[in-house]
Copies of this chain bind each other. A is one copy, B any other.
Amino acid sequence: MSVGVSPDLAAFLAAARDRVETALDTYLPRPPRAPAVLDASMRYSLLGGGKRFRPVLALAAADAVARGDEARVALALPAACALECIHTYSLIHDDLPAMDDDTLRRGRPTSHVVFGEGLAILAGDGLLTEAFALMAREPQGGGADLAARKLDAIAVLATAAGAIGMVGGQAIDLDGAGQVRHPDATAPPVFDAAALADMHARKTGALIRAAAEVGALMAGGSADEIAAVARYATHLGLAFQIVDDILDVEGEAATLGKTAGKDAAAHKPTYPALFGLERSRALAHEALDAALAALAAADLDRHLPALARWVVCRSS
């Protein structure tokens, strides 16, 4: 069951999403520079709706450290769009028959259902690659300080999305589901609570943390501010994942826009399966409190506290 958001947060979310939507459409290469068939598949998934949680979080973190200074917030827009490109690529690849084999995403048929498996793989590859092209190019100008921030942001995002982050988490998930061939005959891992937390910290948490971090970084936040939003987002990412697991158990396909109950059916480890629903809700609220404390310690607020509350209250 979802709850309402405050008018202030709702306005911020709507404006941020519009901004990201428009910018994504502008930044992506168009035919004939990009082949029409590839362009169609990339835009189908990228511009096909979604909460835009990661780019919105990046802009909210930018807004928090910039105390609303619009010129500074705007510097984070390309990185926000790159985050959505990377998130979307990960969904396309995760949905493939060789991975989670999902046919429904964001309420529509998945990429490989529409375009075939080969082009779906390429659409993902294209979105991942364009994310870095975009971050290296934009925002233009700005001198040595901005160039240094752009390089730092690329390093943060690539590290979070790569082998020690998101891709690593997906590999652990796949391995735990028995979908990896082990040429050396080692056994797949068994998931306990610690392994579950590690997997989610990589698979979902790393990119959420990076979203807040690159937002604050590009908007010129201090080292302390960047560290504080990173701590906030680490707790928020955990809360986000627990809530997602709860919604998967409770939810309907219509609400989620994807096949519900799928994780449980695939014997994938989830928070409700390990801890039960009650305890899972309590864990999400503990994570929320820790996220808010991290902000308070650095004297940061603006939309970040309300955003965190909104994430957690999706499930209560």
In Å, the complex CA distance between A119 and B120 comes to: 16
CB within 8 Å for A29 and B180 given contacts A38-B168, A144-B147, A155-B137: no
In Å, the complex CA distance between A162 and B39 comes to: 11
User: Do A155 and B136 touch (CB < 8 A)?
Assistant: yes
Q: Report how many copies the assembly holds.
A: 2
Question: Chain A contact residues: over half helix, strand or loop, or mixed?
Answer: helix
User: Do A118 and B38 touch (CB < 8 A)?
Assistant: no
List residues of chain B with CB within 8 A of the CB of A163. 28-29, 33-35, 38-39, 42, 126, 129-130
Q: Return the chain B residue nearest A41 by Cβ.
A: B171
State whether the Cβ of A133 lies closer than 8 Å to any Cβ in chain B: yes
In Å, the complex CA distance between A170 and B116 comes to: 14
User: Do B132 and A117 touch (CB < 8 A)?
Assistant: no
In Å, the complex CA distance between A168 and B28 comes to: 13
Instruction: List A147-165 residues whose CB lies under 8 Å from chain B.
Output: 147-148, 150-152, 154-155, 158-159, 161-164
User: Do B132 and A154 touch (CB < 8 A)?
Assistant: yes
State whether the Cβ of A295 lies closer than 8 Å to any Cβ in chain B: no
Chain B nearest CB: distance from A160 CB in Å? 9
User: Do A183 and B114 touch (CB < 8 A)?
Assistant: yes
State whether the Cβ of A181 lies closer than 8 Å to any Cβ in chain B: yes
In Å, the complex CA distance between A167 and B122 comes to: 6
- The interface on chain A, measured as residues whose beta carbon lies within 8 A of the other chain's beta carbons, has a size of 61
User: Do A181 and B133 touch (CB < 8 A)?
Assistant: no
Q: Return the chain B residue nearest A124 by Cβ.
A: B125
In Å, the complex CA distance between A34 and B161 comes to: 12
List residues of chain B with CB within 8 A of the CB of A150. 151
* A residues apposed to B, CB below 8 Å: 28-29, 33-35, 37-39, 41-42, 89, 93, 96, 98-99, 114-122, 124-126, 128-130, 132-133, 135-137, 144, 147-148, 150-152, 154-155, 158-159, 161-164, 167-168, 170-172, 174-175, 179-183
